[in-house]
Chain A
């Protein structure tokens, strides 16, 4: 299996005035293609910091992160933007959709930054929106959609660039339990279709539905276990 992510001894230190906060204290793990992983930990465990580093939004203080073999430590700001655009599909807790753009326009957004032409963009956005079950909601704007539908739009937006992996930050955090289950089901299906998915969560029931759970506490991995999702 080809290596998607390789984290080697990631450390992150924040300076809060006089105090040094060690958010990550040497985190190492590997993710191969088509894995369905959750990174779980309580607040303050360093999972947000890890999310930012895995998402190439931030750099570790020390250690190395390789995405498909490319070391991001040395990448410039614009190169990181390119990596985020081509290789990472973000899904946020609060969806982060543009409220005044339609579902279709929202999904097209990353393709605009990738320089894809208008017509192709439209086609590709339609395909993924159909895939997440929103064929009849493409012209709706986020305020006209339910929470579950919004998150589906966001997932479609994450998939549309055909990224190396999807990185979801508490994707069910703003949803009720029934909708959460549907979204987790969608992730499982997408994983079965060949997508590599990482979910950052504090919620054990969410984590349980993935195939592998990395337990994070105080900036360190304390356990790396299999989830119930294996059978899915």
Chain B
């Protein structure tokens, strides 16, 4: 009896018991769908998170003071006090692996334009900010050196802030009022930025950008900044840049505490690890449901063998050999599990698609994941089928024929 015959007769035998075949496939269907769905969603989410981290800029290093911990009465230099514009210049000059070091300060308040108001986060920074974050201007211009030198009251709007305040109207040249507490500041809008979308930490689009000096001198009245954003010369030098920043800061502060340095690479790596662990866990859950599905298939095959004892006896009397019956039941189990696998693939892909449509990330349905899940369902069918098939093949024909 050749393989094509065997497969045909297996399909036929499963078709003649449709509901039962479907029910016993269910475990495999769910298992494969879970694996495919989870892995696709996971890969999509991972890609999306990585995108968001990449969207921060390229080869970025974030340097910021850590929250101060008072140590008794002896207050060493508060790390925040050394974060100045001067430090940024000092680091840019002294660290060979750093291309630019951009100081920034943040504050928030209420933006007023005619009848509209908007609570917005304000970033005071320098022209280089646009370059290190790969940020593009949509209309007008970004901040100039001159704005920073002279503390000009000009403002560049993130795309979402502009849309909220001005709708369809052209904001360029318009006057805005920024309210902090009981103080009011008037700004002229000189530019609108392109949309950058959701970025790893925060959203560039809903922020507004003004000259660093204006925020420090006029609004916050401070001489320290909140963060230094440094850009490494190249990806290869990012590690060295981190070390140089650590060294320079430590020599200023006299301690290695008091500040945190995070490179974009580190963030990517951490996010990648988290995503991988998550996927591994979810994949394991899928694997367990496949295992349970396999047990279901084995169970139904054992039932089938005992139900069909007389048929097995008849087939033996008609000349079926050990191999014929082994193959018959093995193929039946394989057809059962791979049919379940195929249905599971479809279901999983549909789920991943639906989730990505409602969620905010693209599902990435990848061929290797599909192949592995399908292959696994075949393996499950093979393993689950071996024992029942052997039971069938080695039945004594005399016993099988007289089985009631």
A109 CA to B320 CA, complexed, in Å: 9
* A and B contact pairs by CB, cutoff 8 A, 29 listed: A55-B317, A57-B316, A57-B397, A57-B401, A58-B397, A77-B321, A78-B321, A81-B319, A81-B320, A81-B321, A81-B322, A82-B321, A84-B316, A85-B319, A86-B319, A92-B314, A96-B310, A96-B313, A96-B317, A96-B401, A100-B16, A109-B315, A110-B319, A113-B319, A113-B320, A113-B321, A114-B319, A115-B1, A161-B319
* Contact in complex: B319, A84 (CB < 8 Å): yes
CB distance from B337 to the nearest CB of A (A): 22
Nearest-neighbor residue (CB-CB) of A117 within chain B: B2
- Residue-by-residue, is A89-101 near B (CB-CB < 8 Å gives 1, otherwise 0)? 0101000101011
B163 sits at the interface (CB 8 A): no
**B40 CB, nearest partner CB in chain A, Å:** 39
Q: How far is the CB of A102 from chain B (nearest CB, A)?
A: 11
Looking across the interface, which residue of chain A has its beta carbon closest to that of B6?
Answer: A112
Do B316 and A81 touch across chains, with their CB atoms under 8 A apart? yes
Within B34-51, the residues touching A (CB, 8 Å) are: none
A82 to B1, CA, bound (A): 12
Chain B, residues 315-354, CB within 8 Å of chain A (1/0): the string is 1111111111000000000000000000000000000000
B318, A52: Cβ atoms closer than 8 Å:
no
In the bound complex, CA of A96 to CA of B309 (Å):
11
B311 within 8 A of A: yes
Question: Taking the complex as formed, is B371 at the interface, i.e. its CB lies under 8 A from any CB of chain A?
Answer: no
| A161: chain B residues within 8 A (beta carbon) | 319
Measured between alpha carbons, how far is A84 from B12 in the docked complex, in Å? 25
Partner of A96, one of B16, B314, B320, B398: B314
- Looking at the assembled complex, report how far the CB atom of A190 sits from the nearest CB atom of chain B, in whole angstroms: 18
Cα–Cα distance between A161 and B310 once the two chains are bound (Å): 21
Question: Which residue on chain B has the smallest CB distance to residue A113?
Answer: B319
Residue of B nearest to A101 (CB): B12
Once the chains are docked, how many angstroms separate the CA of A221 from the CA of B207?
108
Known: A57-B398, A86-B319. 18 other contacts (CB 8 A): A52-B398, A57-B317, A57-B397, A57-B401, A78-B321, A78-B323, A81-B316, A81-B320, A82-B319, A84-B318, A85-B319, A96-B310, A98-B314, A100-B16, A110-B319, A113-B315, A157-B318, A161-B319
Q: Which of B310, B316, B317 has the largest number of chain A CB atoms within 10 A?
A: B317
Residues of chain A contacted by B320 (CB below 8 angstroms): 81, 113
User: Which of B2, B314, B323, B398 has its CB near the most chain A CB atoms (within 10 A)?
Assistant: B314
A78 to B323, alpha carbons, bound, how many Å? Answer: 9
| Chain B residue at smallest Cβ distance from A86 | B319
- Which residues on the B side are within 8 Å of A112 (C-beta)? 1, 5
Q: What B residues does A157 contact at CB under 8 A?
A: 318
CA distance A85 to B321 in the complex (A): 10
Residue of B nearest to A95 (CB): B314
In the bound complex, residues from chain A placing their C-beta under 8 Å from that of B319 are 81-82, 84-86, 110, 113-114, 161
Q: How far is the CA of A194 from the CA of B201 in the complex (A)?
A: 93
Measured in the bound complex, the distance between the Cα atoms of B326 and A77 in whole Å is 14
Shortest distance between the CB of B327 and any CB in chain A (Å): 12
Chain B contacts for A52, CB-based, 8 A: 398
**Interface residue tally for chain B (C-beta within 8 Å):** 23
- What residues of A have a CB within 8 angstroms of the CB of B397 in the complex? 57-58
Residue of A with least CB distance to B313: A96
Cross-chain contact A78 with B322 (CB below 8 angstroms)? yes
Is B317 within 8 A of A84, CB to CB?
Answer: yes
Q: Write the nearest CB–CB distance from B45 to chain A, whole angstroms.
A: 48
Residues from chain A with Cβ under 8 Å of B12 in the complex? 100-101
Asked whether, in the complex, the Cβ of A109 is within 8 Å of the Cβ of B318, the reply is yes
Measured between beta carbons, the chain B residues less than 8 angstroms from A57 are 316-317, 397-398, 401
Asked if A98 contacts B398 (CB within 8 A), the reply is: no
Contact residues of A between 94 and 138, Cβ < 8 Å to B: 96, 98, 100-101, 109-110, 112-115
Within 8 A of A (CB), among B1-33: 1-2, 5, 12-13, 16
- Smallest Cβ distance from B179 to chain A, in angstroms? 82
Query: How distant is the Cα of A57 from the Cα of B398 in the complex, in angstroms?
Result: 6
Closest to B314 in A: A96
Q: Which of B127-150 contact A (CB under 8 A)?
A: none
Complex: A115 Cα to B317 Cα, angstroms: 16
The distance from the CB of B136 to the nearest CB of chain A, in whole angstroms, is 69
Q: Assess the A115–B2 pair: CB atoms within 8 A.
A: yes
Interface contact A90-B398, CB-CB below 8 Å: no
Of A77, A92, A96, A115, the contact of B322 (CB 8 Å cutoff): A77
Cα of A45 to Cα of B218 in the assembled complex, Å? 118
Closest to A53 in B: B398
Contact across chains for B317 and A90 when beta carbons are under 8 A apart? yes
Q: Within 8 Å CB of A96, what residues of B?
A: 310-311, 313-314, 317, 401
Is A113 within 8 A of B324, CB to CB?
A: yes
B2 close to A90 (CB less than 8 A): no
* Minimal beta-carbon separation of A213 from chain B (angstroms): 25
CA distance A98 to B310 in the complex (A): 10
Chain A residues within 8 Å of B1, by CB: 112-113, 115
Segment 45-77 of A: residues with Cβ below 8 Å from B: 52, 55, 57-58, 77
- In Å, the complex CA distance between A58 and B316 comes to 12
**Interface positions of B from 79 to 138, Cβ below 8 Å from A:** none
In the assembled complex, the CB of B331 is this many whole angstroms from the nearest CB of chain A, namely: 14
Compute how far the CA of A2 lies from the CA of B9 in the bound complex, rounded to whole angstroms.
39
B374-404 residues at the A interface, CB under 8 angstroms: 397-398, 401
Determine whether the beta carbon of B398 is less than 8 Å from that of A58: yes
List chain B residues, Cβ under 8 A from A84: 316-319
Residues of B within 8 A of A100 (CB): 12-13, 16
